Structure 1
Amino acid sequence: MRIDTTPRPGGARWARVAGTLLAATALAFGGGTVATSAHAAPLPAEPTAQDNPYERGPDPTEDSIEAVRGHFDVDEDNVSSLVSGFGGGTIYYPTDTSEGTFGAVAVSPGYTASESSMSWLGPRLASQGFVVFTIDTNTRYDQPNSRGRQLENALEYLVDDSSVSDRIDPDRLALMGHSMGGGGTLAAAEDDPSLQAAIPLTGWHTQKTFDLEVPTLVVGAEDDSVARVATHSIPFYENMPGGLDKAYLELDGASHFAPNFSNTTIAKYSISWLKRFVDDDLRYDRFLCPGPGFDLDISDYRSTCPYN
């Protein structure tokens, strides 16, 4: 298995963290003060798990993020295909509201597939503390960019019109999708930089370069003969901006259709990515950075790994 955690210059968010750490180090070892510009106010540190208002659920463990169900009980709501902008679907949501609102994730199926092909992700992610919307597309033959627009419409519906809109934080939204739905995820993330996370699963798109600002986990499959990693997932990852928070995970010996079935590796790293970037939950850093050690289920892992 290849592990690539090439360091990179961080964005503004990580620059603030670096500045805070530098100041703390100088004070600790030099005993003096750190000079800043005459008018610069101290910059806030990255939130810790203790003061993060978006943290949901107990401290994570390997067992908890690999489990078929997480901490929260889940209910579901069916959305009619008559809804405007996409083809309807199923919303999965935590029943407990005592911890506050949740981030939300819309999930698109691939070419010719229905939302049932991604339904296993609904309760699995929702039970970890997210509202999850597995959608049908307007037609089963919609191309990636159309699927991306439909994913954006699904998020808008969740926030504005769904029966669970009061459970959703509209500032913490993410997208996932399989195959052409994965390509649509990338297209939508390029279109809407306010999203908090994107996860294309064995994504397919004729476009290979996306100018993204959204933290993105690319999941490829080693034996994918439909969207070969050499011409899809790896170029998607490698062509993303150098300052982006991104990772590439390759499923060992898996086919293009691996995301259509319950998959612990996909779930584990998707949960961790969503927790880290939708919920700003630093407790999940250790599952992503520096990444997995020896793992028979993963043939390649690359990451900009800015979380240390």
Structure 2
Amino acid sequence: MKRHIAAVAALSSLAFLAAPTATAADNPYQRGPAPTTASIEAARGYYAVSQTSVSSLVATGFGGGTIYYPTSTSDGTFGAVVISPGFTAYESSISWLGPRLASQGFVVFTIDTLTTLDQPDSRGRQLLAALDYLTQRSSVRGRVDASRLGVMGHSMGGGGTLEAAKSRPSLKAAIPLTGWNTDKTWPEISTPTLVVGADGDTIAPVATHSEPFYESLPASLDKAYLELNGATHFTPNSSDTTIAKYSISWLKRFIDDDTRYDQFLCPLPRPSLTIEEYRGTCPLGS
């Protein structure tokens, strides 16, 4: 009996010690330590990252690319995101996002498109084809939770991001970066979407692209509009802390359902040296 009482006491003590991290058990998709402004602005996150190349010869429906993924398997599977480059561009133009996002706890696939001239509708199909390859055929498919996927893209790849979200409502997150598309209205989208524009964009000006994209999304949708300050159409092609910070927060919140990242999205970020304007529908996840 004394041994039984001692065991119960020991278990109670362990439960008490574990209480501060109980939220992690409540959310099976939560990955990594509690975030801080410093951690999401850092060039690299908590996870060491490995990578593997995918040849265009084995890719179906897209042009191959590079998969970046957390090296560790101790935390189970991860959500995943595929990223498309823009018009006339190659995977290298958005490759900086691969290790940066993967080190925060995602499997990230930066892709080449079938041709550099592919239009947004084609790029949308290619994003979905790459997701299917990643979850069904890739060498790291066992590391990916196929029910928690997102898409991103730059310029026409951003337009393709909207096309992919429209075509596959099961996607958990979409982030068009200075997106370009002849279609300006997206009331059909039900995927939480972060639209990123640039105040100095002369190729896809926010007034005729990112702003109408955002405004046309359903009012009931979790959505946000981030307009970068002092930025151009090509700002997403280089390492950018503001893009990374809010992309990480958006992907964590909606792919991982990790409410620890709410603090960076709501209340809405205020204008700053790097933010011209931010709009959004808080509270999140309602």
Is TM more than 0.5 here? yes
The residue correspondences of 1:230-245 to structure 2 (distance < 5 A) are 230-245=207-222
**Alignment equivalent of 2:147, drawn from 162, 168, 171:** 171
Could you tell me whether the CA contact under 8 Å between 2:30 and 2:258 is conserved in 1? yes
Q: 1:206 aligns to what?
A: 182
Question: How far apart are residue 55 of structure 1 and its match?
Answer: 0.3
Question: How far apart are residue 75 of structure 1 and its match?
Answer: 0.5
Q: 1:252 aligns to what?
A: 229
Q: 1:127 aligns to what?
A: 103
Could you tell me whether the CA contact under 8 Å between 1:49 and 1:282 is conserved in 2? no
Question: More displaced, 188-197 or 292-301?
Answer: 292-301
Structure 2: distance between partners of 1:59 and 1:150 = 34
Question: How far apart are residue 151 of structure 1 and its match?
Answer: 0.2
Query: Which structure is higher in RCO with an 8 Å CA cutoff and minimum separation 6?
Result: 1
Q: 1:9 aligns to what?
A: none
Structure 2: distance between partners of 1:294 and 1:266 = 14
**Alignment equivalent of 2:115, drawn from 120, 123, 139:** 139
- Deviations 1:249-287, CA, capped at 9 Å, x for gaps: 000020000000000000000000000000000000010
Q: 1:55 aligns to what?
A: 30
3-state DSSP class of the match of 2:92?
helix
**Alignment equivalent of 2:205, drawn from 219, 225, 228:** 228
Q: Residue type matched to 2:32 in 1?
A: G
Could you tell me whether the CA contact under 8 Å between 1:202 and 1:220 is conserved in 2? yes
Kindly indicate whether residue 235 of structure 2 is the aligned counterpart of residue 280 of structure 1: no
The residue correspondences of 1:171-190 to structure 2 (distance < 5 A) are 171-190=147-166
Could you tell me whether the CA contact under 8 Å between 1:70 and 1:124 is conserved in 2? yes
Q: 1:115 aligns to what?
A: 91
Structure 1: distance between partners of 2:117 and 2:276 = 31
Question: How far apart are residue 294 of structure 1 and its match?
Answer: 4.5
Q: Residue type matched to 2:41 in 1?
A: E
- Deviations 1:70-126, CA, capped at 9 Å, x for gaps: 000000000001121100000000011111100000000000000000000000000
- Deviations 1:282-306, CA, capped at 9 Å, x for gaps: 0000100112235210000000112
- Deviations 1:222-247, CA, capped at 9 Å, x for gaps: 01000000000000000111111000
Structure 2: distance between partners of 1:193 and 1:155 = 14
Q: Residue type matched to 1:120 in 2?
A: W
Structure 1: distance between partners of 2:76 and 2:133 = 20
Q: 1:161 aligns to what?
A: 137
Structure 2: distance between partners of 1:52 and 1:67 = 24
TM-score of the two chains, using structure 1 as the length reference: 0.84
3-state DSSP class of the match of 1:129?
coil
Q: Residue type matched to 1:62 in 2?
A: T
**Alignment equivalent of 1:106, drawn from 79, 82, 87:** 82
Kindly indicate whether residue 238 of structure 2 is the aligned counterpart of residue 261 of structure 1: yes
Q: Residue type matched to 1:301 in 2?
A: Y
Could you tell me whether the CA contact under 8 Å between 1:48 and 1:282 is conserved in 2? no
Question: How far apart are residue 220 of structure 1 and its match?
Answer: 0.2
TM-score of the two chains, using structure 2 as the length reference: 0.90
Question: How far apart are residue 248 of structure 1 and its match?
Answer: 0.2
Kindly indicate whether residue 44 of structure 2 is the aligned counterpart of residue 64 of structure 1: no
Question: How far apart are residue 57 of structure 1 and its match?
Answer: 0.2
Q: 2:13 aligns to what?
A: none
Q: Residue type matched to 2:66 in 1?
A: T
Aligned residues: 262
C-alpha change, 1:278 and 1:203, in structure 2 (3 Å) is same
**Alignment equivalent of 1:152, drawn from 128, 141, 164:** 128
Question: How far apart are residue 49 of structure 1 and its match?
Answer: 4.9
Moved over 6 A (4+): none
Q: Residue type matched to 2:192 in 1?
A: P
